[in-house]
Amino acid sequence: MCGIVGYLGNKEAYPILIKGLHRLEYRGYDSAGVALINKNNDLNVYKTRGKVADLEAFAESKDTSGSIGIAHTRWATHGEPNNVNAHPHYSQSETLALIHNGIIENYSVLKKELLSKNYTFSSRTDTEVLIQLIEYIKESNHVDLVTAVQLALGQVVGAYAIAVVEKGNPDLIIAARKSSPLVVGIGDGEYFLASDASPIIEYTDKVIYLDDEEIAIIRRHEEPKITSIENVEKTPQIQQLSMNLSQLEKGGYPHFMLKEIFEQPRTIRDCMSGRVNVEGTHVVLSGILDNKEKFLKAGRIIICACGTSWHAGLIGMYMLEEYCRIPVVIEYSSEFRYRNPVIYPDDIVIAISQSGETADTLAAVELAKSRGAFIYGICNVVGSSISRATHGGSYTHAGPEIGVASTKAFTAQVSVLTLMTLAIGKVKGVISEENYLRITKELQSVPAKMEKTLLLNDQIKEFSKIFTYAKNFIYLGRGYNYPLALEGALKLKEISYIHAEGYPAAEMKHGPIALIDTEMPVVVIATKKGMYEKVVSNIQEIKARKGKVIAIVTEGDEIVKEISDYCIEVPLTEECLVPLVAAIPLQLLAYYIAVTKGRDVDQPRNLAKSVTVE
């Protein structure tokens, strides 16, 4: 989703801003722009529809000098992606420029008012309304820019992360946030601003994460000043970033997605590190131990998430019910937050989010908190909004995930949910010692089994070419493999734009079977244990209707191999851990189909990595 970069210091701002925009490309966007103040104090704005490279081409012959600037990648919400709607937006007099992430919900009321004051608008955006409002307040109240921004934000309903610069004022950037992340980086005599830390990391590891309704006043040669919208001064909390630059680069892989698929054995090891003892007999999850009483008393667990995180949550639901004997429900955050759900004080809400910034999940957390529930977060991004809004939690430690289609974050989420299941089951004394030891030990062997599964890369690359003709795919699984079927289908549609549906295998008879013909590829996760025989029957039903079966089976399986068209063998593992290993062929299948079709794998059309608007 939209990205913000800002720079104020002693270097040329433009190359830093452009590099920063490239680092934010993974978030998903459709246009880009930059505003710079040069030595003559002119405020130059350049923006264009398309990629950051298009912006660079557009600005090539222009004056891009100056040591202060703000830059933006836009993911359209109000008004189509075009040059005019791209950010930055000038104010009427062209003395102010603003970039904005989020949505100003009351923009039409504010716009009407400004139209009546003879303000005109060139774009269809809510952002232009905000910069006009700031200018109007500044002019009519005769106040400085900081006060004008504070007063304007006081009138705004909605979500925002903004940055403003002013012509003739090359020493000041004003930034503010509400429900949309913003980080200030503190270098040596220079300051950075970004919607996440990735553009900042190569310059400094000292950052301030703005909280909701906070304003950062960044002046040359001064420490950044943080105030509330009501102008109450706050003490800046300077934190240390733990990311490093190499984590943000492709490391020789053609796409971030492929790199992240191959990183999974390591990310799962990192996720377990310090949490499972060397012998594989003991799980220590401090988030659970620190809140032991809450989990002992829990009457119900509600899992809230979106997208891939929701699929991980569904696997978590199966595990937590099976081994912890606590009733679990799973909710799409966007539905939960708006349907006045019944929440009891002994409910535990588990919010799962890779980015930790998903607007709907954050709102679900706030709602559940306001109703007295205990909130536990499973986030990947350290210091993210959801991780800060929860009462306790466990990080997934998967490292930065850049590919829009989530891969390593998904398996890390499932791993954390497994650790939670083991830890809660133990605390409650409901998991048998046998199950506890067997699953803990087996979880430890998952990274090695993932490594073995990754050796299938060339085989999958080869046969995926066969399926580029397909317009539709069906994915089937039962039990723990059902959420994985949903996730496999999501991966394929996200990056190849082929329509794909995931179904519980037995539900096929209630509708999807009507779609099966010689053209229809059906991916069936038919691993041993669980309901293997029943899945074999489902495959027979597909074959009887001449569907093309791609089966994911356990190594050595002969029965499914015999009846399916294509067979991918994965190592045997514990039933609840199969999704960790079997996710890999599904990710690779989607990846290679998308590559063969020439898709933009890391930044698929219309999608955003971090969905900070509802």
3-state SS string over 486-544? HHHHHHHHHHHCCEEEEEEHHHHHHCHHHHCCCCCEEEEEECCCCCHHHHHHHHHHHHH
Residue 252 one-letter amino acid: G
Task: Name the residue nearer to ligand G6P (CB basis): 358 or 496.
Answer: 358
Could you give the CA distance from residue 133 to residue 327 in angstroms, rounded to a whole number?
50
178 labelled catalytic:
no
Read off the tokens for 50.
């398309």
Task: Name the residue nearer to ligand G6P (CB basis): 306 or 508.
Answer: 306
Task: Please choose, from the candidates 46, 120, 123, 129, the residue with its C-alpha nearest in 3D space to the C-alpha of residue 82.
Answer: 123
Q: At closest approach, how far in Å is the CB of 314 from ligand G6P? A: 13
Task: Name the residue nearer to ligand G6P (CB basis): 358 or 464.
Answer: 358
User: 């809230």: which residue's tokens?
Assistant: 304
609 labelled catalytic:
yes
User: 């083991």: which residue's tokens?
Assistant: 422
- How many residues belong to the chain? 614
Could you give the CA distance from residue 146 to residue 159 in angstroms, rounded to a whole number?
19
Q: At closest approach, how far in Å is the CB of 230 from ligand G6P? A: 31
Task: Name the residue nearer to ligand G6P (CB basis): 8 or 404.
Answer: 404
Phi first, then psi, for residue 219 (nearest 5°) are -115, 145
Could you give the CA distance from residue 585 to residue 578 in angstroms, rounded to a whole number?
12
Task: Please name the residues in contact with 165: beta carbons below 8 A apart, sequence gap of 6 or more.
Answer: 35, 37, 43, 68, 69, 70, 96, 97, 172, 173, 174
Could you give the CA distance from residue 588 to residue 257 in angstroms, rounded to a whole number?
9
Q: At closest approach, how far in Å is the CB of 380 from ligand G6P? A: 7
Residues paired with 45 in a beta bridge: 35
Q: Are 193 and 182 contacting, i.e. CB atoms less than 8 angstroms apart? A: yes
Q: At closest approach, how far in Å is the CB of 499 from ligand G6P? A: 17
Could you give the CA distance from residue 225 to residue 217 in angstroms, rounded to a whole number?
5
Q: At closest approach, how far in Å is the CB of 58 from ligand G6P? A: 28
Task: Name the residue nearer to ligand G6P (CB basis): 36 or 306.
Answer: 306
Task: Please choose, from the candidates 272, 261, 260, 68, the residue with its C-alpha nearest in 3D space to the C-alpha of residue 175.
Answer: 68
Task: Name the residue nearer to ligand G6P (CB basis): 128 or 357.
Answer: 357
Residues paired with 159 in a beta bridge: 103
Task: Name the residue nearer to ligand G6P (CB basis): 92 or 384.
Answer: 384
Q: At closest approach, how far in Å is the CB of 26 from ligand G6P? A: 10
Q: At closest approach, how far in Å is the CB of 605 from ligand G6P? A: 12
In the complex, the residues that contact ligand G6P under the rule CB under 6 A are 306-309, 353-355, 358, 361, 404, 406, 607, 609-611
Residue 8 CA to its chain's centroid (Å): 28
First vs last C-alpha separation in the chain: 11
Task: Name the residue nearer to ligand G6P (CB basis): 73 or 353.
Answer: 353
CA angle 382, 326, 420 (to 5 degrees): 30
Q: What is the CA radius of gyration of the chain?
A: 25
- Of the listed 138, 167, 178, 609, which one is catalytic? 609
Could you give the CA distance from residue 401 to residue 533 in angstroms, rounded to a whole number?
37
Q: At closest approach, how far in Å is the CB of 2 from ligand G6P? A: 14
Residue 177 one-letter amino acid: R
Q: Are 440 and 281 contacting, i.e. CB atoms less than 8 angstroms apart? A: yes
Q: At closest approach, how far in Å is the CB of 25 from ligand G6P? A: 14
Q: Are 374 and 348 contacting, i.e. CB atoms less than 8 angstroms apart? A: yes
Task: Name the residue nearer to ligand G6P (CB basis): 150 or 610.
Answer: 610
The catalytic residue positions are 2, 609
